[in-house]
Amino acid sequence: MTGATPSGPTVVGYVDRVYAHPGDEVTLRVSVLDPARRYRAQLARLICGETGPKGPGLKEEAVAIDALTGEHRGEEQPTGIGSCAVVDGLPALGSIALSVHVWPTLPGCGVQALLSLGAVRLVLDEAGAVALVVGDETVASGRKLRARWWYRVDASYDIATGAVTLGVKPAAGFHDEQPVAVTGRVRAGIEAEGPLLMAAAPAAAGARDHFYGKLEAPVLRSGTLEARWDFSRHIETTLIEDLSPAALHGRTINAPKRAVTGAAWDGTVHCWTQNPSHYGAIHFHGDDLSDAHWKESLRFRLPASLRSGFYAVKLQASGPAFYVGFIVSPAPGAKRARLAVQASTVTYLAYANYRRRMTPGPFELAMGALPTVDMTDVMLAAHKEFGSSTYDVHRDGFGVAHATARRPLFNFRPTGRFWNFNMDLCLIDWLDRQGIEYDVISDHELQEKGVALLQPYGCVMSGSHPEYNTLEMLRATEAYLAGGGRFMYMGGNGFYWRVTFPPAHPGMIELRRAEDGTRAWEEMPGQYHHATGELGGLWRRIGRPPNALVGIGFIAQGFDASTYYRRTAASRDQRAAFLFKGIEDEILGDFGAWGDGAAGLEIDCYDQRLGSPPHALVVASSENHSNAFLLVNEEMLSNTHGVDGTLNPRVKADIVFFETAGGGAVLSTGAISFVASLAHDGYDNNISRLTRNAVDRFLDPAPFKPPGA
């Protein structure tokens, strides 16, 4: 960090985990940019986020914690961004020879280190040419490497004479680039020394001159030593294995991307587990981040009597507050409410530190509106070291496939953009206002505990946008429903992308955006499988469409305005009578805090082709969407006309109800903006009434019976 953004927060922080239990100890890591180095901290229960003039507005409740009381002395903490690999424990070296396969993505964009041994470094120079730097002298090949092309690079340095050789050989291909061989002489006696850094150069604190691109099969020779690292081994870990008798194994830092195609890949396999030798590369970036590694600032214990919910440590110095959000779920063995709200913490993390919305032009064109930003967003834009979201791309244009919770998270807060974490607080506010007892659980805890986390609850409600899910999470939800559980899907574009939790990187998720779907970037061919070996992409394309789970699936998105639902004939079916108790209106949700309607942003519809249950009732459907609402990519198999909401009748959000064979049931609302309508007119409206009717019946233990049962 290099200073505060004017008028922005002057203190930021993070906690080690996105959820905790009452009685747990929480570790807070804080960096203070304010010159006085003083800050205040307050635990707050979050009830409602900023909703604009058409909603209830920000509501929070202070929680007294002795360890947080008063003013605290802090410091500005550095964040070591950028990935590399390091090998410690090297023996004394004399003359050396280095070899490595190189696939550069940003040649000519500054000095980039390939292999570094103290004062002896194999690099790409400012011009993008291979060079060997020895002390303050350089021997360069003189030819810029082609971006996204494989080269074999060899270099040597004779410590006795200062003689240097360089060789650059391009992979075979359809162009006329020829090998390069260069000799030179530099000062003798400069010692190469460990540790060996790959894809970076050593700095006083951490590393510098990070490389953008892939490296494969590095070799170090010195005397009788011939170390050879094989990146195709232990792909799912941080280990890089040396195959030589010296066993000079190393480790990756900041989670560079593994399970990527190497120089041998020829398209005959598309999963690294089928032939790891085709995946012997690692893709490094100077803006990778897996853990900020800040020092502990404060440690405090949550009260044993603390109620479950959305919480944040509110940090403040001389500028606006910075919220460090997290979930408090019931302690193991504690009494449970009958209702649980499942916070979409994996989705929050996928969106964390979303930078693209601060890019002039593209965001406005995609959204059809200007972005809503505050000084916290401006601060994020000024501090690249906090990493990016999985909606952004690295400096070299490749998609960000990893997101970590171990850094400041700028969207885990009740202020700023009305989306995800902030939007989900509309549901919390409504439950509080209705006097309904509930617990809050999280995706992360579901990943760890499986269906056992859900089983105590009579009903589970999702948030507004549970977009990202692991296989373990889906299996847990399926098992819960099979056992008679009731599920209320309170949003849109849910259960869409597959993510995984890399075991080697606590606090991190991995995402591969495969060749289909509405996506911010696309994964390279051959790289659709995660480092865990699981196929990435849309759950729909992996054989688990959301329709089969919750009755509906993503159909369209638009961000200009929301619209309303109209009841269908199926809403008069006796099976759905409980939903419409006290509701005489034909039109539902023609109001709301987002876009003046309950059906907006990203919307889902019923489709039996994709597994929507035949006995499900579509009780209401939206209509009159604008031409800004476009069909999702996966719905278009060829050049398709009539893809927007003014021309295509499939562009609609469906409210769907169905019973399950185990005595449970599902209600799905079909739109992200649905929960933003709950508080309209003092919480007395047909969206609020329908939701309350559903909760009351879903908490009633009397079993549901599918038709014909």
Segment 210-268, tens digit of pLDDT: 999 999 999 999 999 999 999 999 999 999 999 999 999 999 999 999 999 999 999 99
Lowest mean pLDDT among 173-182, 285-294, 331-340, 679-688: 173-182
Position 368 scores a pLDDT of: 67
Structure tokens, 303? 């009260």
Reduced to 3 states (helix: H, G, I; strand: E, B; else coil), residue 303 is coil
Strands (E), 232-297: 239-242, 250-253, 257-260, 281-284
Please name every residue paired with 60 in a beta bridge, in sequence order, or none if there are none. 46
A 10 A CB-CB count for 116 gives 28
Position 641 scores a pLDDT of: 67
Sign of CA dihedral 576, 578, 579, 585: positive
Q: Give the type of residue at 157.
A: Y
The model's pLDDT over 132-164, given as tens digits with 9 standing for 90+, comes to 999 999 999 999 999 999 999 999 999 999 999
Taking residues 645-660, what's their average pLDDT? 93
Confidence of residue 639 (pLDDT cuts 50, 70, 90): low
Q: What's the pTM value of the predicted model, to 2 decimals?
A: 0.96
Q: Which residues contact 190 (CB under 8 A, 6 or more apart)?
A: 119, 120, 134, 135, 157, 159
CATH class for the domain made up of 84-284: mainly beta
DSSP 167-225: EEEEPS-SS----EEEEEE--TTPPEEEEEEESSEE-SSSEES---EEEEEEEEEETTE
% of residues, the chain, pLDDT over 90 = 90
Cα–Cα distance, 269 to 478 (Å, whole number):
32
What ranges in 535-650 are assigned the alpha helix state H?
Answer: 546-550
Q: Do residues 544 and 610 make contact, with C-beta atoms less than 8 angstroms apart? A: no
Taking residues 308-329, what's their average pLDDT? 97
Confidence of residue 172 (pLDDT cuts 50, 70, 90): confident
- The size of the chain, in residues, is 709
pLDDT at 472 over 80: yes
The model's pLDDT over 191-201, given as tens digits with 9 standing for 90+, comes to 999 999 999 99
Q: Give the type of residue at 58.
A: L
Reduced to 3 states (helix: H, G, I; strand: E, B; else coil), residue 477 is helix
Cα–Cα distance, 387 to 410 (Å, whole number):
11
The model's pLDDT over 258-305, given as tens digits with 9 standing for 90+, comes to 999 999 999 999 999 999 999 999 999 999 999 999 999 999 999 999
Question: Beta strand 339-343 with 459-462: parallel, antiparallel or unpaired?
Answer: parallel
Cα–Cα distance, 633 to 613 (Å, whole number):
23
Position 29 scores a pLDDT of: 98
Lowest mean pLDDT among 40-49, 393-402, 479-488, 700-709: 700-709
Q: Do residues 421 and 411 make contact, with C-beta atoms less than 8 angstroms apart? A: yes
Q: How far is CA 406 from CA 320, 430, 524, 704, in A?
A: 22, 31, 27, 43
Position 205 scores a pLDDT of: 84
The model's pLDDT over 66-99, given as tens digits with 9 standing for 90+, comes to 999 999 999 999 999 999 999 999 999 999 999 9
Structure tokens, 466? 């549970």
Output the CA angle 567-571-574, nearest 5 degrees.
165
The model's pLDDT over 23-48, given as tens digits with 9 standing for 90+, comes to 999 999 999 999 999 999 999 999 99
Classify residue 229 as left (phi > 0), alpha (psi -120 to 50) or beta. Answer: beta
Kindly list the domain boundaries of the chain, sorted by start residue. Answer: 84-284, 345-699
Position 3 scores a pLDDT of: 52
Taking residues 567-590, what's their average pLDDT? 98
Structure tokens, 409? 């998270």
Q: How far is CA 109 from CA 145, 199, 206, 286, 705, in A?
A: 12, 14, 21, 12, 65
The model's pLDDT over 507-561, given as tens digits with 9 standing for 90+, comes to 999 999 998 999 999 999 999 999 999 999 999 999 999 999 999 999 999 999 9
Structure tokens, 108? 């000519």
